[in-house]
Each structure stands twice: as C-alpha cells, then as structure tokens.
Amino acid sequence: MAGLLALAEPLLIGVGVIALPIGGNALIRYLKVRKVLPVIRRAFTVLDPLLNEHISGYSGSDVRFAMELVTGVLADGALSREEIEFAVREIESRYAPSRAAGKTSETLTQALGPESEEAKLLSAVLAVVQKRELLPKGILEAARNISLKIS
C-alpha cells in the first residue's frame, strides 16, 4: 500500500498544480459575473425587444453601442468602465435570438407599463442609436444623459 501511495503522490501533486490555476480563474470569473448579473438581467429586458425589432438595420458597432449604452444606464454609476465592458461581453456571449423572438417594444410596454424605466430606456436608446446623437467613446457621459432624460 505504501508503494502505491509513493507512486500516486507525484501524480496527485501534478493534478493539483494544474487544477489550482483553473479553479482560481473560474472563481475570479464567477465573482465578476456575480457582480454584474443584475445589470445583465435588466439589460436583456431592454435589449431583447430592441435587437429583435431593429437588428437587421444595425451594423455590429450599432448593436455594441446599444448594449454599452443600456448597460451603462442600468449600472447607474455602480460599475466601472471595465465592469461595463465585461458585462457587455457577457451579454454578447449570452444573447440568443431564439429567446428574444416575440419580444417587442409593445410587449415590453404592456408588461411593465409605459412609465417604467425599462420602457423609457428602450425608446431613448433607440433614438440615440438611430440618430447617432452620441459617440461610443463617451459612453458613460451618454449613459448619464439618458439617465437624466428618462428620470
């Protein structure tokens, strides 16, 4: 039995050395996602109808700009620029057109009411993206301006 342990010990140490960084990275990613998850969930409430109804007319940069804008407004200063970027990457990776099917601005307004923050945000972001009133490089300032418009 002692001989078996002597043979297995290097193998177990090697597995531990390999698994430790993988587990550490997974834990760090989990903590990051956990912090931005409430914003991501609310962002999908607005982005699903927006992208479902208007994605065919948008370029990739318009879609990204809309995602950044919605995320920035919903974060309401609670997230840094890097965390907003991380949240947008998560939204891009999790977006599924099949789940967004059937979600429209009309169903959003009916479900939450025309005075809800999400309904107002949807119309404000749609106007900004269509008119390109604000440039993507000023996303935090754009988010603050939209927050003022919808409140």
pLDDT digits (tens, 9 = 90+) for 95-120: 877 777 778 778 777 887 877 777 77
Average pLDDT over residues 53-60: 68
Instruction: Return the higher-pLDDT residue of 24 and 63.
Output: 63
pLDDT score, position 55? 65
Helices (H), the chain: 2-54, 60-75, 81-94, 97-100, 105-112, 117-131, 139-150
CA distance linking residue 108 with residue 48, whole number of Å: 10
pLDDT over 80 at 61, yes or no: no
- Whether the predicted pLDDT of 78 surpasses 80: yes
Instruction: Return all residues near 13 (Cβ < 8 A) that are at least 6 apart.
Output: none
